[in-house]
Amino acid sequence: MLSFTDVLLKNEIAISMDGKGAWRDNVFVERLWRSIKYEEVYLRAYDSVSEARSSIGRYLTFYNGQRPHSSLDRKTPDQADFDPLPQLAAA
């Protein structure tokens, strides 16, 4: 029986988490997936892949545009990324 990594290597698929400290490369994506799973996926019973795709898409729109994030000082990602910075007074 082939191990998981053997299957990846046999199919010429690069293994991205093979370096020291590589967990940091994906920490933000892992946190996003945790939110998607606990706030969307685990609460639904999708009847099809297309329904899941649509529902997760709606959740991502909510996540970025309406859901405040404590790490962003209670702003949404859209607000943090697209709102203009305050103007500094001239000296």
Q: How far apart are CA 11 and CA 31, in angstroms?
A: 28
Q: What global pTM score does this model have?
A: 0.63
Distance of alpha carbon 59 from alpha carbon 42, whole angstroms: 13
Condensed to tens digits (0 to 9), the pLDDT of residues 29-54 reads: 888 999 999 999 999 999 999 999 99
Average pLDDT on 45-70 reads: 95
- In the block, which residue shows the tokens 């019973």? 45
Express each pLDDT in 18-28 by its tens digit: 555 566 667 78
Give the whole-number percent of the chain exceeding pLDDT 90. Answer: 46
Q: Cα separations (Å) of 69 from 7, 31, 64, 65, 80?
A: 38, 12, 9, 11, 10
Residue 20's φ and ψ, nearest 5 degrees, are -60, 130
